[in-house]
Each structure stands twice: as structure tokens, then as C-alpha cells.
Amino acid sequence: FDLYRELRGKEGNLFFSPFSMSTALGMLYGGAEGETEKQMANVLHYDLPEPDLHRVFNYVDLELESRGEGKASADGGKFQLNVVNAAWTQDGYDFLDAYLDLLAVHYGAGLYGLDFAADHEKAREIINGWVADQTNDRIKDLFPEGTILPNTVLALTNAVYFNAAWET
């Protein structure tokens, strides 16, 4: 809700998924330690112990996806909800196995190595292509030009694709 209060004053339409943002930040939080971990927990209002928090994110993700399985939308068409996560890292950069396990087990996030340093624009295009594939081309430019730089070490992605007819 803090983010909504900040964004609501902007011009134009506003659409964002608090769950999506919380999930991406939860993935990041899983790699934080010490003072950074404490600051993130405070700012993000994480009240649960860290292991429980990641289990809750996983539970909510699985619960949301299961709600659409085999269901039809209001117009009788297909109901689809797809939540995808991934971690993109600089080739050769080492991460703790425990962090990689946390991403895989609780967030379903694979780790993909890219060479941001040699060709950050190509890396950006690869990430955006993956997101576009996962969202039936609804999200094509998750990372706009200039957001992935040669010194990028880690990029976490989360996208939610929802397609259904609404009853009015």
C-alpha cells in the first residue's frame, strides 16, 4: 500500500500487481543478510521469519495457479493465470547454493547465465524475449533500453499473465 500511495498521484492509468512486486522483492530478500536483511524486512513489512516468508510466497503462488486449472472464464473461453520467475546472472558469478535452492524451491525460478559485461543489450533482449514468451507477448519490454548495464550482476524477473473474460 505504500507503493500505491506513491504511484496514485501520477498522470494516466495505473496498473500494478502487489503480489508480483512482493514476489520479486521476496526473491531478492532471500539473498540479503545482516543490516540489508533487517532494512528490507522493515521497509517491506515482512513480519514472518525468513524461512516462513518464502514458504508463504510459494503457497500463494501455487494456490493462485491452481484456481485457474480447468476453469472457463465468464464468456466460456479459457481462463489462464501464469506466474513466472527467473534469475539472470552474469556468467561466472558465484551464488550460494542455499540461495539458488531457495529461488528454485520457493519461487520456481531458474538461474540463467548471461554475459552482461560483454553485451548488456543482447542480455536485455534475451530476458525480454523470455518474458514475452511466458506472457503470450503481452509484456514485451520488461526492461526498457538503458536499464540493463554492463555492470549488472543479477536481474530478477517476475511476470504475471492473466487472461479471462470479466463479468460486467
Q: Is residue 2 part of a domain?
A: no
Spatial distance between the Cα atoms of 108 and 114, rounded to a whole number of angstroms? 19
Spatial distance between the Cα atoms of 31 and 22, rounded to a whole number of angstroms? 15
Grid cell for residue 57: 510466497
Q: Which one-letter amino acid corresponds to residue 23? A: T
Whether the Cβ atoms of residue 64 and residue 22 lie closer than 8 Å to each other: no
Whether the Cβ atoms of residue 134 and residue 56 lie closer than 8 Å to each other: no
Total domain count, the chain? 1
Q: Is residue 31 part of a domain?
A: yes
Look up residue 59 and give its DSSP letter.
Answer: H
Residue 72: pLDDT over 70: no
Q: Is residue 9 part of a domain?
A: no
Q: Tell me, what's the pLDDT at 71?
A: 66
C-alpha distances out from residue 130 to 12, 25, 57, 91, Å: 28, 20, 22, 18
Quick: pLDDT tens for 122-150. 999 999 999 999 988 988 999 999 999 99
Quick: pLDDT tens for 46-57. 999 988 999 999
Q: Is residue 156 part of a domain?
A: yes
Give the confidence band of 163 by pLDDT, cuts at 50, 70, 90: confident
Q: Is residue 54 part of a domain?
A: yes
pTM of the predicted structure, to 2 decimals: 0.80
Q: What does pLDDT average to over the chain?
A: 88
Q: Is residue 3 part of a domain?
A: no
Residue 12: pLDDT over 80: no
Q: Is residue 4 part of a domain?
A: no
Q: Is residue 159 part of a domain?
A: yes
The range of the structural domain enclosing residue 83 comes to 16-163
CATH number, position 90: 3.30.497.10
C-alpha distances out from residue 125 to 37, 65, 110, 154, Å: 31, 27, 18, 15
